[in-house]
Amino acid sequence: MSSEPLLRVENLKTQFFTEEGTVRAVDGISFEVREGEIVGLVGESGAGKSVASMSIMGLVESPGEIVGGEITYKGETLFGLEEGPDGDLQERDDMLSSEEIRTRIRGNEIAVIFQDPMESLNPVFTVGGQLREFIELNRGLSEDEARAEAIDMLREVGIPDPEERYDEYPHQFSGGMRQRVLIAMALACEPSLIIADEPTTALDVTVEGQILDLVDDLQEKYGTSFIWVTHDLGVVAEICDRVNVMYLGEIVEKATVDDLFYDTKHPYTNALLNSIPRPDRTVTELEAIEGVMPEAISPPSGCRFHPRCPDAREVCKRAHPDVKVVADGDGEPHQAACVKHDAFDAGYDQSPSLEGVAVDAGPAAAQEPESELTANPAGDDSGGENRE
């Protein structure tokens, strides 16, 4: 880890100021992306994973706002705050202007692939035309050159008969084909980093397999780094190198993909793994996680997972753990935010168990999902699959 990572996110905080109160959608997360790796950002809907990735791109819209932290990309500051002369936080001088981010970073350096390919393509322009325009604007090619490049890109991502299909409209493409077009668009300017926000969630399994294969091939060819936002642990196991598990705006575990599945350190990750039905073997009894994720507007005290945690003890209601190194997984530190590990020294072992008293665990216990509409105003995925 000698060289500077491609992207470093430190203590990022993104909040939404709604009428009901402040929603702390992303609450102090730190992670990094190195060159040529796929980093997973995993969690259920409302965990804040989409908001986190949009914050990196500077695409958080009102009433949302990044209120703290630092985002560094290739040594340049995409976002940073410092204390001004009057004691208020203000944006740092070395921070790139939104003009610079728009022209230099977005598309050219960091590209995004969204979940719903129909919403990302304009239905009244041809697919080829949109791709061509994007290449023309970002790479300064002439119209003819951009057209040739666009057709090449379409072939590259496996669109059959690209010359013919160049002039077709998005609705004439199937969901998988549209997602391929978006990948072509993301790759068109050969960015160093692609943020993929649930890119295969709306697709059928066989198509999902094709897309994952394609991403593997392209990554090998171009050496692009990815941030892969998903709720699907199967996809994570297939494609990611390192994984960050999010719960209620925080990262609760960071590890290499192998350590995450085989040496799980956080009870939430563990519970998640035990609650999914397996395609490769028959599970007779699913160990469901109790309750639902509380709201980010009034998170539980202490560890945010404690009302649902099977390992929770008295101390978990008080101590709020940040991620710490709890194991050394082959030179790659394995971090988790759970006080049951010795690294925290919070007196977990002496603390009485919470068995049976979980009901009075904070204002947002499982029974009161009153205003879930405000839980995630940025429009995170519904945790769902495609609808027929």
Partner 1 sequence: MDEDSGYDSDDALLELDGVTKYFGQDSGLLAGLEFEPDQFPPVNVNRETVKAVDDVSLEIQPGETLGLVGESGCGKSTLGRTILRLLEPTDGDIYFKGENLADLGGEELRRMRSDMQMIFQDPQSSLDPRMKVGQIIEEPMRAHDMLDDEGRRARAKELLEKVGLDPRHYNRHPHAFSGGQRQRINLARALSVDPDFVVCDEPVSALDVSIQAQVLNTMESLQEEFGLTYLFIAHDLSVIRHISDRVAVMYLGHIVELAEKEELFENPQHPYTRALLDSIPVPDPRENGVRGVLEGEVPSPVDPPSGCRFRTRCPRLIAPDAYDWSEEKWAQTRAFMRAVKRRSFEPMPAARIEAEFFDGDRPGGEAGSIVDEAIELVASDGSAGGNDDDETDRWVTATDLLLESFAEQSICAHERPAYDLESEHGNGDHFAACHLHR
Residues near partner 1 (CB under 8 A): 44-45, 155, 158, 160-161, 164, 174, 176-177, 204-214, 231-239, 257-258, 260-262, 271-273, 275-280, 282-283, 285-290, 292-293, 367, 369-370, 372-373, 382-388
Cα 38 to Cα 34: distance, rounded to the nearest angstrom: 8
Q: Which is nearer to partner 1, 59 or 212 (CB)?
A: 212
Least distance to partner 1, CB of residue 250, Å: 16
Q: Which is nearer to partner 1, 21 or 347 (CB)?
A: 21
Q: Which is nearer to partner 1, 125 or 261 (CB)?
A: 261
Cα 112 to Cα 193: distance, rounded to the nearest angstrom: 9
Residue ranges of the alpha helices (H) in 249-380?
A: 257-262, 267-275
Q: Which is nearer to partner 1, 109 or 250 (CB)?
A: 250
Least distance to partner 1, CB of residue 211, Å: 8
Cα 313 to Cα 132: distance, rounded to the nearest angstrom: 58
Q: Which is nearer to partner 1, 10 or 204 (CB)?
A: 204
Least distance to partner 1, CB of residue 364, Å: 12
Cα 334 to Cα 328: distance, rounded to the nearest angstrom: 6
Q: Which is nearer to partner 1, 140 or 331 (CB)?
A: 331
Question: Strands 76-79 and 81-83, how do they pair?
Answer: unpaired
Least distance to partner 1, CB of residue 199, Å: 13
Report whether 12 contacts 343 (CB < 8 A).
Answer: no
Residue ranges of the alpha helices (H) in 294-387?
A: none
Cα 11 to Cα 24: distance, rounded to the nearest angstrom: 13
Cα 263 to Cα 89: distance, rounded to the nearest angstrom: 40
Q: Which is nearer to partner 1, 80 or 310 (CB)?
A: 310
Q: Which is nearer to partner 1, 27 or 295 (CB)?
A: 295
User: Alpha carbon 332 to chain centroid distance?
Assistant: 21
Q: Which is nearer to partner 1, 41 or 95 (CB)?
A: 41
Cα 334 to Cα 326: distance, rounded to the nearest angstrom: 6
Least distance to partner 1, CB of residue 104, Å: 33
Q: Which is nearer to partner 1, 159 or 315 (CB)?
A: 159
Residue 142, amino acid: S
Cα 354 to Cα 310: distance, rounded to the nearest angstrom: 9
Least distance to partner 1, CB of residue 36, Å: 18
Least distance to partner 1, CB of residue 210, Å: 4
Cα 365 to Cα 165: distance, rounded to the nearest angstrom: 52
Least distance to partner 1, CB of residue 159, Å: 9
Least distance to partner 1, CB of residue 272, Å: 6
Least distance to partner 1, CB of residue 302, Å: 20
User: Alpha carbon 226 to chain centroid distance?
Assistant: 10
Q: Provide the 10 A C-beta neighbour count for residue 71.
A: 20
Residue 149, amino acid: E
Tokens in use for 174?
Answer: 């199937």
C-alpha distances out from residue 175 to 117, 229, 327, Å: 7, 19, 42
- Per the DSSP assignment, residues forming a β-bridge with 70 are 10
Cα 294 to Cα 352: distance, rounded to the nearest angstrom: 24
